[in-house]
Amino acid sequence: MTPAARIAAAIDLLEVIEGAPKRPADAVANDFFRSRRYIGSGDRRAVSERVWAVLRARRRIGWWLGDAVASARLLVAASLLLEGWAKTGVAQAFSGGQFAAAPLSGAENGVLARIAGHTLDHPTMPAAVRLEVPDWLLPHLAARFGPGLPAEMAALLQPAALDMRVNLLKGDRAAALAALAAEGWPAEPTRFSPWGLRIDGRRPVTSGPAFQSGLVEIQDEGSQLVAVMVGAAPGMRVVDWCAGAGGKTLALAGAMGNKGQIVACDVSAPRLTARFAACVVPAFIMSSVIWSKLATNGSSVVPARLTGFWSMRPAPEPARGGATRTLGSG
């Protein structure tokens, strides 16, 4: 893709994200790129980075735009100018040529003219805007962190590192470090999780053999620590009362060494049926799945919570993640 085409794609993706405020941005982006297979990995990374840059600076860019409607076009154009792009470069990105965004209108150019020559931060910005937090939240954060608040919030404004969890049923952390290094992705052990690895910045690790073979899975260190603190061991019966995408559940399964029983609970039937059936479960088979609902409590109905029960046993044939998946009725 040309640079202008990447900018146009970033505008399209940002429009979709802004139009779905209740969905996680990364989930929206995954669907966006899945439906556009023609966008290569390098282009996906460039488009994503532009969109994440806008989202991380959403309040500050909005402050610069003032009363103007903060359309995806204006947000992206303003982000380019505030990063130091020349006005001519922005005009070329919005040239209206093949695969490029339509030319900027007179009204859009008028708004952007006020921004040209400035940087993202400005001394007169309100503290909540500068720190990218809601106005109502700032007093609570200030009470908690005191003078350390700017440093804490500045860290949150930086691009996140990529955390992964080693699948203990496929290898150990040393083996995973070596495998990722062979792919050109040097990683380091996470500070707290004994299963974690961290790579600086976003990297396309999902296309490499370490991920494809199931040796590593993408999971934040914080989520890993939740599973670590459970202390699950082989032979136990473990309840994951807040299952969803399945990351912590799979981490528990690895800690249990492929022996025991896990009960995964969630209020969403589609999430359990679709996500758990679609994911590749490390070295165990999902079997004897039973769905149940909580009973009513007097006159008020307890929200339905669906529960999936399954036992673990060695898979007859390894697949990605080390397992063959079966889903049966119980």
Q: Is the pLDDT of residue 309 over 60?
A: no
pLDDT over 90 percentage in the chain: 53
Distance separating alpha carbons of residues 100 and 79, to the nearest angstrom: 17
**Average pLDDT estimate for 129-137:** 94
What pLDDT band is residue 277 in, cutting at 50, 70 and 90? low
pLDDT of residue 264: 76
Q: Tell me: pLDDT of 280 over 50.
A: no
pLDDT band at 272 (very low <50, low <70, confident <90, very high): low
The model's confidence at residue 158, banded by pLDDT at 50, 70 and 90, is: confident
Its CATH class, for the domain covering 162-221, is alpha beta
Residue 227 has pLDDT above 60, yes or no: yes
**Mean pLDDT score across all residues of the chain:** 81
Residue 175 to residue 284: CA distance in whole angstroms: 21
The confidence band for 260, taking pLDDT boundaries of 50, 70 and 90, is: confident
Higher pLDDT, 176 or 318: 176
pLDDT in tens, 23-53: 889 889 989 998 998 888 789 889 999 999 9
pTM of the model: 0.68
Cβ–Cβ under 8 Å, residues 177 and 187: yes
Per-domain residue ranges of the chain? 3-125, 162-221, 231-312
Looking at residue 274, what is its pLDDT? 57
* pLDDT at residue 318, as a whole number: 38
